[in-house]
Amino acid sequence: MDMDDRCIMENLLLTTKGVCDLYLHGTIESSTQNVHQTFDQALDDSLCMQDDIYKKMSAKGWYSTETAEQEKVLKVKNQFAGM
């Protein structure tokens, strides 16, 4: 895959994330159980698709993440534990 493929994958990932956001709001705001279940299933399918795209991009080195410092993680955890 070349740089054009990377750009396509980035666009697919961004689009899928946007769809997940829309389906999440549809699920939350649905007025009937039927509509809720439909949006919820679409959200689940889209999250799986987003995960697949992420894994493929990560395997190619196109989506790198940084490991959070344990000290910072504990600080945030303790901050919210007191609420």
Dist CA 30 CA 40 (whole Å): 10
- Residue 9 confidence (pLDDT): 95
Q: Judge if pTM exceeds 0.85.
A: no
| Cα separation, 15 vs 20, whole angstroms | 9
What digits encode the pLDDT tens for the residues 16-44? 999 999 999 999 999 999 999 999 999 99
CA distances from 70 to 19, 52, 74 (A): 32, 28, 6
Residue 67 is given by DSSP the state P
- Max alpha carbon distance in the chain (Å)? 49
CB neighbours of residue 81 within 10 Å: 8
**pLDDT exceeds 90 at position 67:** no
